[in-house]
Amino acid sequence: MAGMVYLVGAGPGDYRLISLKAVDCLKQAEVVVYDRLADDRILQWAPDDAEYIYVGKASSNHTMKQEDINQLLVDKAKAGKCVVRLKGGDPFVFGRGGEEGLLLQENGLPFEIVPGITSAISVPAYAGIPVTHRAVATSFAVVTGHEDPTKGKSNMRWEHLATGVDTLVFLMGVANLPHITAKLIENGRPSDTPAAVIRWGTKPEQRVLMTTVGTAAEDVAKAGLKPPAIFIVGDVVNLREKLQWFDEPKTHPLFGKTVLVTRARSQASKLTARLEQLGAKVIETPAIRIEEPADNYAAIDAAIDKLNDYQWLIFTSTNGVEHFFARLLKAGKDTRALGYAKVGAIGSATAEKLKAYGIIADVVPQEFRAEGVLEALKGKVPPHAKILIPRAQEAREILPEKLREQGAVVDVAPVYQTVAAAVDGEALKAQLANGDIDLVTFTSSSTVTNLIQIVGSAESLAGVKTAAIGPVTADTAKSNGIEPDIVASEYTIDGLVEAIKANI
């Protein structure tokens, strides 16, 4: 039985500009045939066990010829596979999707086209340049910049193109700028026409060079701008002065900054999203991986068997909440098993996680650390109260120790442990040494110790700014030879982001 091929546009660069339908296709893919994507995070929506085939093409460097790519799609579809052919931009805007579709049709194989946002309009938009604008430009053309200037006869109708369209957008044309600009001027486009070259458009690395048709080639050479970039010509370019937004400091104060997020991969998304909203380029390198505790949940399962014995449950992290309730459900119980026990949360994020399970915390301290919990519990815990603390296997002992000193009977039950993640330490070390990373974030003590383990020593972070989510994490950094430049006053992800925003 024949499979199905989806010719999918991945958009211009920012992975969030992919369509919902494209994501749906990726989720069901058995084979993903993909180009050199501007952001590999687009692949996150495809199954881990899918077959990934890279066929990317850079200037003068083709991993696979187009004819071979076409046949590959046919072969995989004939084998009954669900194939996603993932292409940057849109499949039909210089994407050669038509050639792929035609061969599939000739072989009687089903396919669908999933349009993508083309860089022809999105990249100028991210630079604050509309391709059309009332009273300025009522037409635009998208032109390939790849035409070989040495061939005998051009397929371009330069005599019509140069002056017949208000806005011209050349894709993949940086290497041919001397030829393109010369042809435009030769065919009547004034040399002083505003122009712009936009590199890595829609991504945090975006760079915009304002120029003119007459000086563009020289300006690009001086600036050292390399592909991928587009060249846009027309009076609309001047609108960038007022419409600039993506690389505008007031809108995106972290634009141009690269931030290393060291949270566990499953938890990095919120911090990444907040930093990206502020314009940062985020590198997710999980320093920790969350695993089951060393005792295989023996302690927490035993505690769950006698939940009625506890007067208080105190949660010190969102992970603790999540893993505790997973074990509770596995035991065939739900929140009713907590009975009349009071519940404490170390901070607002942990309290919010409890709400997701239908529990409103009785105590949430003003200061989100163990000392704050102890202060908040004063006068609320009766003598000899029995307390359960589901937490990480490795954690500060101050909370259970102080509660015991006050006469409480405290059971500490590990519900997870953090271990160093499998990361290419040498590659990360090189990025730090080369100045490719402006800021490293630490969201827990374990991210500090495990990152140092990954890169070999604290010296690898010398010269790179660091930000800690709170004083406990900051103290761990200091004890390992790292003096944090930023310490959040509110010990949450939002608090960390606000501290970074104010201090970087």
Please state the domain extents for the chain: 4-116, 121-243, 258-287+421-503, 298-418
| Residue tagged 């909440």 (tokens) | 321
Dist CA 29 CA 38 (whole Å): 20
| CA atoms within 13 Å, Cβ hemisphere of 477 | 26
**pLDDT digits 0-9 by tens, 122-161:** 999 999 999 999 999 999 999 998 776 666 677 889 999 9
| β-strands 409-420, 288-291 pairing | antiparallel
- The predicted-structure confidence for 234-247, as pLDDT tens digits, reads as follows 999 999 999 999 99
Provide DSSP, 58-111.
ETTEESS-HHHHHHHHHHHHHTT-EEEEEESB-TTSSS-HHHHHHHHHHTT--E
Question: What's the mean pLDDT when you consider all of the chain?
Answer: 91
64 three-class SS: coil
Alpha carbon of 28 to those of 78, 101, 383, 492: distances in Å? 17, 20, 57, 36
For residue 428, count other CB atoms closer than 10 A to its CB.
21
Q: Residues of the chain with pLDDT > 70: what percent?
A: 95
291 pLDDT tier (thresholds 50, 70, 90)? confident
Domain boundaries 121-243, CATH class: alpha beta
Sheet holding 229-233, edge to edge: 140-144, 167-171, 229-233, 194-199, 207-212
The dihedrals phi and psi of 329, each to the nearest 5 degrees, come to: -65, -35
Pairing of strands 167-171, 140-144: parallel
Q: What is the pLDDT at residue 253?
A: 93
Is there a contact between 484 and 340 (Cβ–Cβ < 8 Å)?
A: no
**The domains spanning 258-287+421-503 and 298-418 adopt the same CATH topology:** yes
Among the options 4, 14, 35, 166, which is catalytic?
Answer: 35
Mean pLDDT in residue range 377-388: 86
pLDDT for the residue numbered 62: 57
Does 476 score more than 70 pLDDT? yes
CATH architecture of the domain with range 298-418: 3-Layer(aba) Sandwich (3.40)
- Ranked by mean pLDDT, the top range of 69-83, 255-269, 345-359, 428-442 is 69-83
**Rounded to whole angstroms, how far apart are CA atoms 263 and 446?**
9
Q: Label residue 276 by pLDDT band (50, 70, 90).
A: very high
Do residues 199 and 229 make contact, with C-beta atoms less than 8 angstroms apart? yes
Q: pLDDT tens digits, residue range 163-220?
A: 999 999 999 889 899 999 999 999 999 999 999 999 999 999 999 999 999 999 999 9
Q: Where are the alpha helices (DSSP H) in 406-492?
A: 425-433, 445-455, 471-479
**Radius of gyration of the chain from Cα atoms?**
28
Q: In 119-225, which ranges are continuous DSSP H helix?
A: 119-126, 158-164, 177-186, 216-223
**Catalytic site includes residue 172:** yes
**Looking at residue 264, what is its pLDDT?**
62
Average pLDDT over residues 24-39: 92
Backbone angles phi and psi of 412, in degrees to 5:
-100, 120
Mean pLDDT along residues 452-479: 91
Q: Which helix (H) or strand (E) holds 142?
A: strand 140-144
Please compute the mean of the pLDDT values over residues 457-476 and round it to a whole number.
Answer: 91
Evaluate if residue 39 carries a pLDDT over 60.
Answer: yes
Alpha carbons 212 and 140: distance in angstroms, whole number = 17
CA-nearest of 144, 10, 149 to 87 is 10
Angle at 194 between CA 191 and CA 198, to 5 degrees: 120
More confident residue, 39 or 335: 335
Rounded Cα distance, 146 and 175, in Å: 8
Does 228 sit behind a cis peptide bond, omega within 30 degrees of 0 on the bond before it? yes
| Fold adopted by 258-287+421-503 | Rossmann fold (3.40.50)
Q: In whole angstroms, give the CA distance from residue 426 to residue 421.
A: 14
Cα–Cα distance for residue pair 322/238, rounded to 1 Å: 52
Structure tokens at 504: 């970087």
- The predicted structure's pLDDT at residue 40: 85
pTM over 0.85: no
Tell me whether residue 257 is exposed, middle or buried, using C-beta atoms within 10 angstroms of its C-beta: 0 to 12, 13 to 18, 19 or more: buried
Predicted confidence at residue 27, as pLDDT, reads 97
User: Which of the residues 57, 270, 333, 402 is marked catalytic?
Assistant: 57
Could you tell me the CA-to-CA distances from 361 to 343, 344, 346 in Å, in that order? 5, 5, 10
193 vs 236: CA distance, rounded Å: 10
352 pLDDT exceeds 70? yes
CA 354 to chain centre: 27
pLDDT of res. 151: 67
From the candidates 39, 81, 90, 172, give the one annotated as an active-site residue. 172
Class of domain 4-116: alpha beta
- What is the reported pLDDT for 401? 87
